[in-house]
Amino acid sequence: MLEIGITHYLVVGALLFVIGMVGVITRRNVIIIFMSIELMLNSVNLNLLAFSRLYGLHGQVFALFIAADAAAEAAVGLGILIAFFRNRETVNVDEVHLLKW
Amino acid sequence: MTPVATPFFFYFLSGIAVLCAIIMVTKINPVHSALALIVTLLACAGLYLMLYAPFMAGVQIVLYAGGILVMFLFVMMLVNIESLYIEKMLNKQWIVALAATAMFAVMVIAGLLRGAKTLPQHVLDLPEQNNVQQIGLLLYGRDTGYYMFPFEIASILLLVAVVGAVVMAKRRV
Is the predicted pLDDT of residue A80 greater than 80, yes or no? yes
DSSP code per residue over B137-160? HHHH-TTT-TTHHHHHHHHHHHHH
Report pTM: 0.89
Query: CB B114: neighbour CB atoms within 10 A?
Result: 9
CB-CB: which of A42, A73, A79 is closest to B44? Answer: A42
CA distance A43 to B118: 22
Q: What is the CATH T-level fold of the domain B1-84, as seen in this structure?
A: Four Helix Bundle (Hemerythrin (Met), subunit A) (1.20.120)
**B146/A32 Cβ within 8 A:** no
**ipTM for the complex shown:** 0.90
CA distance A10 to A43: 9
How many Å lie between the alpha carbon of A49 and the closest alpha carbon of chain B?
7
How many beta-carbon pairs below 8 A join chains A and B?
223
Query: CB B82: neighbour CB atoms within 10 A?
Result: 6
Spatial CA neighbour of A44 closest among B98, B115, B48:
B48
Is the predicted pLDDT of residue B1 greater than 70, yes or no? no
Is the predicted pLDDT of residue A61 greater than 90, yes or no? yes
Is the predicted pLDDT of residue B82 greater than 80, yes or no? no
**B91/A26 Cβ within 8 A:** yes
What would you report as the CA-atom Rg of chain A, rounded to the nearest whole angstrom?
17
How many Å lie between the alpha carbon of A47 and the closest alpha carbon of chain B?
10
For residue B163, the model assigns a pLDDT of 93
Q: Where are the domains of chain B?
A: 1-84, 130-173
Map out the domains of chain A with their CATH numbers. 6-90 (1.10.287.3510)
CA distance A69 to B14: 24
**B123/A6 Cβ within 8 A:** yes
Torsional sign, CA A87, A88, A91, A94? negative
CA distance A68 to A75: 11
pLDDT tens-digit series, residues B3-53:
556 888 899 999 999 999 999 999 888 889 999 999 999 999 999 998 888
Spatial CA neighbour of A68 closest among B37, B136, B60:
B60
Tell me what the mean pLDDT of segment B66-70 comes to.
Answer: 88
